[in-house]
Structure 1
Amino acid sequence: MTEPTDGRDGPSRRQYLLAGTAAVGGLLAGCASGGSGDPSNGTTEATDSGVTTGEGGETADGATTEGESTTTQEPYTATLAPAGEVSFDSVPESVFTVFSQYTDMAVALGHGDAVNAMYVPEMAGTTMNNYYEHLEGVSFDWEGLPDPLSDGLPKELLYDLDSDVHLADPAWASTQKNWTKSDVDEIRDSVGPWFGNFYSGTHADAPEGYGDAYQYYTLWEMFGHVAEVFQERERYEALNAVHEDLLSTVEGSLPPKEERPTAVRVTLSEDQFYTYHLNKPGYWLADTRPLGANDAFAEKDWGQLWGSVGFEAMAEADPDVILHLWGMTPNYDMAEVRQTLADHPVGGQLSAVQNDRVYAQGMRYQGPIMNLFQIEATAKQLYPEQFGEWPGYTSGEPYPDVPEGEWLFDRNAVAAAVRGETS
């Protein structure tokens, strides 16, 4: 693969990447599908153990926002375990991401156009834009960038991208195929620093060599640390204020625990449900935990990130509400999911199916903007009497229109913050 240039005497990095996608067409072909494999999205996914399952994905790039970003020419530092304190000479202009929580953070901070890679971007980027549709002046151009996990995690790709920062967990990277801690250190020293934290997603144990340096963060704590990287404290504080207000609205209106519905978070795949908890620690549950529904599988211990149950076990649990993870992504058609359940001799008898309470959920790889929308959606799906009826989601369409009087957070305030209008 040709070495990228700085654009002064050859193609720009963007032009280089676009050309590179043709050279690695097999890596970037449209493989994201809602089939088996990973219990959730049907695409290649790195797990806490570093094992990948399922199929591979697409390509991604930058956000367009209005307003100017705050930059500085003075050296500064940002801190996040396990990377620790990281020094920067200037605000990064090329940013490597894997999972979309960091891509969404870059967009939220006004630096989405710096992103040069992203996991299954056709799925994730489309889903992000389905939320951004409701934020004036905010969008994400995901086309033309490589999926760093479409063929493992090639070290050569990281050299080719020559990123100023890698918003990815060095501990997680050390578990990938053909990677060791020395490879991670090599990229840090030869290309650019790592700055990410994967295992806060589930509070799973960090891999060998990183345990002593590891720390768990909430999604919004991580977002604050990433804001340090981009020197965008004002944007972060404005968005965090919206989040705090949303949590206050939700938590202050929840019914007593005994009056809350039973619910499950699952993904239907053929004759089984891949299952997830609702209220456990970790930022993967940042959209369900605040709602405190009664988890129908709360007592299940799958010994890993997820479990799987058949229709009989689902019928035994018989939850009031089924939250279908990835249902608001292009990988699933919720009309087909509901029809499959209704046509099944056991599935058709489930209370959630009979009462039309099978709902589309978003992505667990959620950044701050995604999290705001996903908390709102889940609140309305679980508690329509308290938070207003969920208008329903149509596959292939943006996040549904919610009447302004029924917003649980202020879209205008979010869009203004992303555009840099924070004063």
Structure 2
Amino acid sequence: MSPRSSSLRGGAGTADQVAVRRHNLAVVLEHLRLHGSRSRARVAAETGLNKATVSSLVSELLGRGLVTEGAVERGGVGRPGLVIDLDGSTYAAIGAEVNIDYLSVIVSNLRGDVVAEQRVPFDTAASDPRDALQRLAGLVRDALATAGPAAPVGLTVAVPGIVESATGRLVKAVNLGWRDTPVVDLLVELLGGPGYPVVLDNEANLAALAEIEARGGAAGRDLLLLTGGVGVGGGIVADGHLLRGARGFAGEIGHLQVDRDGLDCGCGRRGCWETVAGLGALLRRAADEGDPVRDPNVDLLGRLAEVRRRAEAGDQRTLAAIDATATWLVSGAASLVNVFNPDVVVLGGYFAVLSRWYVPRLQQGLAEQVHAPDAGGCRVEVSTLGFAAAMRGAAHQAALAVLEDPVALPFLDATDESTGVPT
């Protein structure tokens, strides 16, 4: 073997070792995130890594400020050891959402705990994109100030439309009226060039990620999330993976045509699903123009609380409006269940707020309209995240960039980077 080939082989071996260590660091972090505090010995036993490796990995994670060391673990086998846990104070992830009638931001730590939240009613569709993003940038700054000294590791922005995540460009959001909008470039400018990455993604996809994260092992590997907003959004999880499509544009279920003779849709077509099952359709049926529940300058949660109050009081117009949208919700959802055969359909957004009326109708409708026996085994559940689902998914995605690649963060103190051990 020539000296050159020997050198190349040694270089490849070193690269392989670095990749393996990076992978193992992520394994330990993911284990702590999913299962909580553990001693080194317990982490080793549960992950299959040897104790010496885990000890070295934990030393590096401590040096990078990603884990903390606490009390002695009790009740374990063998000699008691100090427990380690994800550090909730050193780093933070930011999730933001631009929607039709509100802007919102949350900051969470790497354990997923929300440490700050900002939300304001905002008539985004009537505003210039730059003005809306200027307001959003202000909310991000306010939320970070409230969250304390934790260093942000990333910001993910959720929007209701077709996005190119690679370029940070919003291709089209018909309900916002935005087209070819460089959302990431504008936000980076308005935030003054933050030292953390800014990423753009579709709101329904991020909400679906949040549902999986919140449900853990109970989520099932095939999930369909239906979010009721001004439009109808969808996130599809197939075999445990978010279905994004060839170019990341999958999930635009609100623009399935369900009524050829229906209303014109903002997308330029007629009779799209969201024109008959979206929040706009519900409110048009439930109240006249000028009614506070149709005022985009009034907080959405307050407007929906009023709709629910009227329904609970037996207001016939409100109940008829809910019934009409439920009919269309069932029609579209049954078609999607026939195509994807999910374990569970999760109702989010305004469908969740009014779930008392929508869940029974959907359960009955799926039983009647899905071709497979027993609705193909599909059950109906309600999101527990409400309108925060997209933001929670956005913050989780921002955190994953670090949790899946811990070496992206620097050592906080003088440390031997080849071993991760403080010097």
Normalised TM-score (structure 1): 0.30
Which entry has the higher C-alpha Rg, 1 or 2?
Answer: 2
Normalising to structure 2: TM-score of the pair? 0.30
More helix by share: 2
